A and B are shown apart, each in its own frame.
Chain A
Amino acid sequence: MAPILELRGITKRFPGVIANDQIDLTLNEGEILALLGENGAGKTTLMNILYGLYDPDEGEIMIRGEAAQIDGPQDAISQGIGMVHQHFMLVPPLTVAENVILGNEPIQRGLFLDRKLAAKRIREISDTYGLDVDPEALVRTLPVGVQQRVEIIKVLYRSADILILDEPTAVLTPQEVDDLFEVIQTLVDAGKSIIFITHKLKEVLALADRITVLRRGKVVGSTTPADSDEEDLAAMMVGREVSLVVEKAPAQPEGVVLDVKGLSILDDRHSPAVNGIDLQVRSGEILGVAGVQGNGQTELVEALTGLRSATNGAFTIAGEAMTKASPREITEAGVAHVPEDRQADGLALDFPISDNMVLNTYYVPPYAKGIVLQDDVIRENAERLVREFDVRTPGIDLPAANLSGGNQQKVIVAREFNRDIKLLIASQPTRGLDVGSIEYIHKRIVERRDQGVGVLLVSSELDEITQLADRIVVMFKGRIMATVDAAAVTREQLGLLMAGVEVVELSAVTGA
């Protein structure tokens, strides 16, 4: 029997870049194929070709053994290909049913929406695949995991047989990931075929039937979970041996550098985001803040760096009251900040690398004399940091926008580490980065810890928290669920805490 989907020699060139180079890929019916690769390896480009968003320069697509021409998403859908995007394409104020039928509305008597029919079909789909979604619910009231299932229903509603899931676990809690895997298994049992795009090795090994690894636009190998382990896959992705375990000595914590007492913060919509939390970071330790995104971590970090004002409570940095300080005062007090959204906050993307390397120190000697910028010093500084932090770039005059995500993050880390700092506040420091860059940035953070810097590490990646942190606080709905010793806590316990479940029998709990 012919495979349900086959790509032969797909090549896609962008000016100066070959995004996909002679890619062959086979998807058999009822199979889960994991497409693994670092950022920029060409995974998304390949899937966009399959979904009709790009035309390939060379190669052909075969669906059920027949050559297919895909001219856009509508065409892809009509040929049974559905895509669940990494960022949901949902309209929050509408109901599940309304979201699902959007663009494909069942019409009654030529004019009216047939909501009943839509709801009935959605309920059928939901029951068949165990998705457990209420068609009448408003999307904005649903948890992220359920919203993702709405996306899956959207695709199934349009009768897709081939489902492409683009980094589907990036926004989920560990429990939600398990639920998603169950859903995927049900889909496959019902005869659907799945392409699962990810750069997370554990998930690939847990879920996939076959694994195809992309590197720099080429297929570098195909394997199965039975024949490989995490180290093998990481090496294939990166092209060299990678250490997946962060090597660090036990922490030698000393004095308190960050002391937060009863801090409450409002979010942009003026509803409480953080409710009276206490925490302490001592120099020479890494305090990990775990939690699913959107539980107040963003607001906490913004308050601690002067970007958002607290409504209640106070905090001190190295003994100085800083609750009302400006971002500049906090920076000058010796705080380095690796912001959550590197492109929105951490960089001026249009500026050359050299300027980004002095984005918050441009006004102090030796970078400026009076108001005159010292171009030579700024350039030398950038040249040195680019070398020291291994930023892969042809030159320091390149706009930061032209760097890959990993190299952009290295620019920020280089800049923030290039000062005498007492406290490092790092928010999602490795989000979206490839294995190689993650390894590098983790090493640098541990290095700083060992030099006596206090580190507040906010991350929604459980692996990152457990490997890097010495102590962990788990945030849920603006409160701290527990403070635990990183060495003694299990992933499962953290997962439950992140989901808001009190875990009383935890031996590792040192205070709540």
Chain B
Amino acid sequence: MKKGKRTEKERRQRWRGLLVPLLAIVTALIISGLLIIVTDFDVHDAFTHIPMEIVDRVEYSWEEVSLEEALEHHAAQVEIGDRVRVDGRWRTVVETIDNPERQLTLDEAREIYPELAVGVMVHFNFWQRPMVGFAAAWESVASAYAALFEGSIGSPVQMVRALIAAIGGDSSQLGRAFYPLTESLVTATPYILTGLAVALGFKAGLFNIGAEGQYFVGGLLGVFVGYSLKGLPMIVHLPLTLLAGMVGGAIWGAIPGLLKAKTGAHEVINTIMMNYIAFALADWLLNGPMQRPDDFRPISAEIQPSAFLPQFFASPIRLHLGFILALLVAAAVYWLLFKTTVGFELRTVGTNPHAARYAGMNLTWNYVLAMALSGGLAGLAAMNDICGVIHYMPNAFSAGYGFDAIALALLGRSHPVGVVLAALLFGILRAGASRMQSVAQIPIDIISILQAMIIIFIAAPEIIRALYRLRDKPDAELAPTKG
């Protein structure tokens, strides 16, 4: 009896591991949708003033109203406070006019409208025609999310058409049709690498808030190698540049690791402080020794083409080798964590440092190693952007990857596969956000709110469990063993 129970429980737990993030995303999308609705003026209008034209016979029931019905809602005579349409503008009937653009007197109005008649427009509100409001709300959310989808994945119709054309020998449409998707992958790449950086730290029980700083220092060292070494073949120069970025990040990460192991200083504080030092360092170097010659901007020189990560397709598609590299790195991190003694030690230190010490593991070494690996991954993320996309290092370099990475690691449950999926999600959201803004006029900040909500729901899964009545509480499971 006991056997069946445990395996079933295990299965349930595994299922729940997937269920909660999924529900978190869905819930965040729903709440963001509501937010889009309540902030959309069109929807607001559709709830309060639904203009209805009076016609003889109702053909289209949402937009038109019969005279009979209109008379039920409106007095036969126009009254003060009514809104009537004069010269193509909606005007309110008042006693004294102080806004001639919007108002007209009752007398004037009665001259024009002695009675309501066919062709006049009257206003209904939400309670009289709820479907209009709902339709507008749906329209608002649907157009926003459709724009998000098309901006990040692409239009399915276009994609199919382009594919059919390509089979027929005309590949000219492919680029346009698949541009949004590739752009999402480009955006996701640094997220994958920084997310892995933070996740690896988590696995070793370390909260690396410093991925941002490690990203900067990695970028500085890497870009230096990238532009200063000339005449090397790509096969040497590119790996060397990437490696330099990793080394820069690794050094920046190892310092707080060492401080923690040797002095007990908490890595959260120290990585945050190291961030500030990194930003200041970048500021100084890019305004001084590393500034591009003959340029007033705080940017570095462009790296040698031999250090470029090759792009797969013709411009404007920017998808480059870095994406594949990131996936390979994710696989390598998985292998290291779960298939090697190194990872075994890191994970043991992370889950129970006392047991790790008991088992003869060296905590100092593991803390330093974990932070160095973490920093190295963050540095590689920087090199991905430099070698793959922009080819130089600007002062305002990162888009907050190092901080979003914390959320990614949480979202991906610190597992390499989870992190890759979470990073793809973030890449999609980020890439789609701009189209959502231009097409559906939804502010880009909605995406930040959406991301924030996903993270809150992941970090506090109790909310999701309560919302969806997922009853299985972990503490209740533990209770009987104390009996």
- Known interface pairs A15-B477, A45-B480, A371-B340; A359-B359 also in contact (CB < 8 Å): yes
Would you call A288 an interface residue if the criterion is a C-beta within 8 Å of the partner chain's C-beta atoms? no
Instruction: Please determine whether A40 and B2 come into contact, CB atoms closer than 8 angstroms.
Output: no
Beta-carbon contacts of B343-369 to A below 8 Å, as 1s and 0s? Answer: 010011001101111111110000000
Q: Which of A39, A45, A373, A398 contacts B344 (CB 8 A)?
A: A373
Q: Cα distance A69–B481 when bound, in Å? A: 25
Tell me, rounded to whole Å, the shortest Cβ–Cβ distance linking A240 to chain B: 17
Task: Please give, as numbers and ranges, the residues of chain A lying within 8 Å of B477 by CB-CB distance.
Answer: 14-17
Task: Please give, as numbers and ranges, the residues of chain B lying within 8 Å of A371 by CB-CB distance.
Answer: 340-342
Instruction: Please determine whether B358 and A360 come into contact, CB atoms closer than 8 angstroms.
Output: yes
Q: Which of B2, B351, B472, B483 contacts A39 (CB 8 A)?
A: B483
Task: Please give, as numbers and ranges, the residues of chain A lying within 8 Å of B356 by CB-CB distance.
Answer: 348
Instruction: Please determine whether A41 and B483 come into contact, CB atoms closer than 8 angstroms.
Output: yes
When C-beta atoms are compared, the residue in chain B nearest to A197 turns out to be B483
- Known interface pairs A362-B344, A394-B2; A404-B481 also in contact (CB < 8 Å): yes
Tell me, rounded to whole Å, the shortest Cβ–Cβ distance linking A362 to chain B: 5
Q: Which of A54, A331, A348, A351 has the most CB of B within 10 A?
A: A348
Q: Cα distance A360–B358 when bound, in Å? A: 8
Taking CB atoms and an 8 Å cut-off, the chain A residues in 28-58 that contact chain B are 37, 39-46, 48, 54
Beta-carbon contacts of B1-38 to A below 8 Å, as 1s and 0s? Answer: 01111111110000000000000000000000000000
Instruction: Please determine whether B355 and A359 come into contact, CB atoms closer than 8 angstroms.
Output: yes
Instruction: Please determine whether A363 and B348 come into contact, CB atoms closer than 8 angstroms.
Output: no
Instruction: Please determine whether B348 and A348 come into contact, CB atoms closer than 8 angstroms.
Output: yes
Q: Cα distance A1–B360 when bound, in Å? A: 63
Would you call A355 an interface residue if the criterion is a C-beta within 8 Å of the partner chain's C-beta atoms? yes
Beta-carbon contacts of A339-373 to B below 8 Å, as 1s and 0s? Answer: 10000111111110001000110110000100111
Instruction: Please determine whether B351 and A350 come into contact, CB atoms closer than 8 angstroms.
Output: yes
**At the interface, is chain B mostly helix, strand, loop or mixed?**
helix
Task: Please give, as numbers and ranges, the residues of chain B lying within 8 Å of A311 by CB-CB distance.
Answer: none
Task: Please give, as numbers and ranges, the residues of chain B lying within 8 Å of A14 by CB-CB distance.
Answer: 476-477, 479-480
Q: Which of A42, A307, A360 has the most CB of B within 10 A?
A: A360
Instruction: Please determine whether A372 and B9 come into contact, CB atoms closer than 8 angstroms.
Output: no
Instruction: Please determine whether A327 and B476 come into contact, CB atoms closer than 8 angstroms.
Output: no
Tell me, rounded to whole Å, the shortest Cβ–Cβ distance linking A322 to chain B: 13
Would you call B482 an interface residue if the criterion is a C-beta within 8 Å of the partner chain's C-beta atoms? yes
- Known interface pairs A37-B483, A344-B354; A359-B339 also in contact (CB < 8 Å): no
Q: Cα distance A62–B340 when bound, in Å? A: 59
Interface residues on B, range: 35 or more
Task: Please give, as numbers and ranges, the residues of chain B lying within 8 Å of A398 by CB-CB distance.
Answer: 6, 10
Task: Please give, as numbers and ranges, the residues of chain B lying within 8 Å of A392 by CB-CB distance.
Answer: 2
Would you call A284 an interface residue if the criterion is a C-beta within 8 Å of the partner chain's C-beta atoms? no
Tell me, rounded to whole Å, the shortest Cβ–Cβ distance linking B461 to chain A: 16
Instruction: Please determine whether A15 and B344 come into contact, CB atoms closer than 8 angstroms.
Output: no
Instruction: Please determine whether A362 and B341 come into contact, CB atoms closer than 8 angstroms.
Output: yes
Q: Which of A19, A305, A405 has the most CB of B within 10 A?
A: A19
Would you call B471 an interface residue if the criterion is a C-beta within 8 Å of the partner chain's C-beta atoms? yes
Taking CB atoms and an 8 Å cut-off, the chain B residues in 316-354 that contact chain A are 339-342, 344, 347-348, 351-352, 354
Q: Cα distance A54–B475 when bound, in Å? A: 12
- Known interface pairs A37-B483, A327-B359, A362-B344; A349-B352 also in contact (CB < 8 Å): yes
When C-beta atoms are compared, the residue in chain B nearest to A328 turns out to be B360
Instruction: Please determine whether A307 and B358 come into contact, CB atoms closer than 8 angstroms.
Output: yes
Q: Cα distance A17–B10 when bound, in Å? A: 14
Instruction: Please determine whether B358 and A45 come into contact, CB atoms closer than 8 angstroms.
Output: no
Would you call A320 an interface residue if the criterion is a C-beta within 8 Å of the partner chain's C-beta atoms? no
Instruction: Please determine whether A345 and B354 come into contact, CB atoms closer than 8 angstroms.
Output: yes
Instruction: Please determine whether A348 and B351 come into contact, CB atoms closer than 8 angstroms.
Output: yes
Taking CB atoms and an 8 Å cut-off, the chain B residues in 215-269 that contact chain A are none
Q: Cα distance A16–B351 when bound, in Å? A: 26
- Known interface pairs A19-B480, A40-B483, A349-B351; A368-B360 also in contact (CB < 8 Å): no
Q: Which of A347, A393, A394, A398 has the most CB of B within 10 A?
A: A394
Q: Cα distance A373–B335 when bound, in Å? A: 10
Instruction: Please determine whether B480 and A17 come into contact, CB atoms closer than 8 angstroms.
Output: yes
Q: Cα distance A89–B352 when bound, in Å? A: 26
When C-beta atoms are compared, the residue in chain A nearest to B3 turns out to be A394
Task: Please give, as numbers and ranges, the residues of chain B lying within 8 Å of A328 by CB-CB distance.
Answer: 360-361
Tell me, rounded to whole Å, the shortest Cβ–Cβ distance linking B16 to chain A: 11
- Known interface pairs A345-B355, A348-B355; A16-B476 also in contact (CB < 8 Å): no
Q: Cα distance A327–B355 when bound, in Å? A: 11
Would you call A337 an interface residue if the criterion is a C-beta within 8 Å of the partner chain's C-beta atoms? yes
Task: Please give, as numbers and ranges, the residues of chain A lying within 8 Å of B358 by CB-CB distance.
Answer: 305, 307, 327, 337, 339, 345-346, 359-360
Task: Please give, as numbers and ranges, the residues of chain A lying within 8 Å of B471 by CB-CB distance.
Answer: 15
- Known interface pairs A40-B480, A307-B358, A402-B6; A359-B341 also in contact (CB < 8 Å): no
10 residue pairs, one from A and one from B, having the closest CB atoms:
A328-B360, A360-B359, A19-B480, A394-B3, A16-B5, A394-B6, A327-B360, A371-B340, A359-B359, A345-B358
Could you list 19 further interchain pairs (A-B, Cβ under 8 angstroms) beyond the known A339-B358, A359-B355?
A: A15-B472, A15-B476, A40-B483, A54-B479, A328-B361, A331-B360, A344-B352, A345-B357, A346-B355, A359-B348, A360-B358, A360-B359, A362-B341, A363-B341, A368-B340, A368-B341, A373-B341, A392-B2, A404-B481
Contact residues of B with A, CB < 8 Å? Answer: 2-10, 339-342, 344, 347-348, 351-352, 354-362, 471-473, 476-477, 479-483
Query: What are 22 A-B interface contacts by the 8 Å CB criterion?
Result: A15-B473, A16-B9, A16-B477, A39-B483, A40-B482, A40-B483, A45-B483, A46-B483, A54-B479, A331-B360, A345-B354, A347-B355, A351-B347, A359-B355, A360-B358, A362-B344, A368-B340, A372-B340, A394-B4, A394-B6, A398-B6, A398-B10
